[in-house]
Amino acid sequence: MIATTTTAASLGAVIQYPGMVVQTRLLFDRAMKQLFRDKLAFVIRIVSNVVFGVLFGCIFFQVGESDYETSAQVGASFGAQVNLLISTMFGVAQSSLMEFPRDRPVFLREYSTNHYSIFPYFLSKFSLECITTMIQCLSQLLCAFFLMGFQQRFVDFLALQFLLGIASSSIGLFIGSCVEDPSVAAEMLPALIVPQLLFSGFFIQTNLIPVWLSWAQYLCSLVYATRLVTHYEFGECDSQACKGLLEANGVYQLEAYYYWIILCAIAVIFRTTAMVVLKGKASF
């Protein structure tokens, strides 16, 4: 009996739990397998992005080829850019919003039995999310950008669209981590999307929003993305129509690089908060 106990103790002493790198790699491999297992849904998502990209490109065909001398020309190009950003934000946020409520039972069971820690779980999800988000953005923008004929650089628009997608998914992940039922998470999607649309400057210029409510625009990632894409497209335009749009939507309130920093901060803050929320629920 003593020998058995000693043997068990010695075996327990040599047990080593995998490190953070190994945990992340294994979780990433599992997430990739899940993606390929449900590849039809991902293929449909990519096909939808291609279809919307072609549709947007045909509707706003060559709007960027104009000289931007009139408000109609500037408005058409601005509308095309914002529609692309909205499409990306909506598509990425919707999938991230539903992700954790769907995976919640598995995560809680595995985390409670010390299969892995919270950080590798989030890091593996984030790594895969970066890949899928880039594929989504690239598939849509390749179809739409050149049909629309924008004057800004393709790389700038792609990077901005990708960062907006990551920021939106971080907000969606935070909301999804706060609820348990996937249907409740789906009902909260308008709360994520609608304020972004209202404060983006697309439906109403931001300088026309009442002062007592205008502060809310600074909480919306789409606002910063819209200001950046407007800056890159119309920043070198000297017409009154361009200058009026830039001034009305507060594009020059900050330098362009600050908007990049703010978008990164939104992504980090909401993703970190979601991680804290999930850790608290799992511990409880």
The predicted-structure confidence for 109-131, as pLDDT tens digits, reads as follows 888 788 888 899 889 989 999 99
Please enumerate in sequence order all residues whose Cβ is within 8 A of that of 47, keeping only pairs 6 or more positions apart, or say none. Answer: none
Confidence at residue 61, expressed as pLDDT on a 0 to 100 scale: 94
N-terminal to C-terminal alpha carbon distance within the chain: 38
Q: Return d(Cα 48, Cα 251) in angstroms, integer.
A: 31
- Other beta carbons within 10 angstroms of residue 157's beta carbon come to 23
Query: Which amino acid is present at 141?
Result: L
H helical segments located in 113-237: 118-148, 154-177, 182-187, 189-199, 211-214, 221-234
Q: Which of 81-90, 102-111, 127-136, 238-247 has the lowest mean pLDDT?
A: 102-111
Confidence at residue 187, expressed as pLDDT on a 0 to 100 scale: 78
Q: Span 189-198, mean pLDDT? A: 80
Q: Return d(Cα 54, Cα 89) in angstroms, integer.
A: 18
Q: Return d(Cα 239, Cα 106) in angstroms, integer.
A: 57
Q: Return d(Cα 194, Cα 71) in angstroms, integer.
A: 26
Q: Between these two residues, 262 and 115, which has the higher pLDDT value? A: 262
Confidence at residue 9, expressed as pLDDT on a 0 to 100 scale: 43
Q: Which of 53-57, 116-120, 202-206 has the lowest mean pLDDT?
A: 202-206
User: Could you tell me the two tokens for 94?
Assistant: 């919707």
Confidence at residue 103, expressed as pLDDT on a 0 to 100 scale: 80
Q: Return d(Cα 43, Cα 3) in angstroms, integer.
A: 58
Listed as own residue / partner, the contacts of 21-24 with beta carbons closer than 8 Å and 24 or more positions apart are: 23/116, 23/117, 23/120, 23/121, 24/120, 24/123, 24/124, 24/127
User: Could you tell me the two tokens for 96?
Assistant: 């991230």
Confidence at residue 1, expressed as pLDDT on a 0 to 100 scale: 37
Whether 34 has a pLDDT exceeding 70, the answer reads yes
- Which range in 12-21, 207-216, 259-268 is most confidently predicted, on average pLDDT? 259-268
Q: Return d(Cα 255, Cα 237) in angstroms, integer.
A: 17
Q: Span 42-53, mean pLDDT? A: 91
Q: Span 50-76, mean pLDDT? A: 92
Q: Between these two residues, 115 and 59, which has the higher pLDDT value? A: 59
Q: Span 188-209, mean pLDDT? A: 80
Q: Which of 5-14, 37-46, 199-208, 221-230 has the lowest mean pLDDT?
A: 5-14
Give the single-character DSSP code of 220: -
In the structure, what pLDDT confidence band is assigned to residue 181 with cuts at 50, 70 and 90? confident
Q: Between these two residues, 200 and 33, which has the higher pLDDT value? A: 33
Q: Return d(Cα 118, Cα 122) in angstroms, integer.
A: 6
| Closest to 177 in 3D by CA, of 125, 249, 113 | 125
Tokens 């953005």 belong to which residue? 137
Phi-psi region of 220 (alpha: psi -120 to 50; beta: other; left: phi over 0): beta
Query: Which amino acid is present at 121?
Result: Y
Q: Which of 69-83, 99-113, 212-226, 243-257 has the lowest mean pLDDT?
A: 99-113
pLDDT, averaged across the chain? 85
| Closest to 44 in 3D by CA, of 105, 91, 96, 109 | 91
Q: Return d(Cα 30, Cα 125) in angstroms, integer.
A: 10
Q: Return d(Cα 81, Cα 144) in angstroms, integer.
A: 10
Q: pLDDT exceeding 90 applies to what percent of the chain?
A: 43
Q: Between these two residues, 172 and 225, which has the higher pLDDT value? A: 225
Please enumerate in sequence order all residues whose Cβ is within 8 A of that of 135, keeping only pairs 6 or more positions apart, or say none. Answer: 46
In the structure, what pLDDT confidence band is assigned to residue 283 with cuts at 50, 70 and 90? low
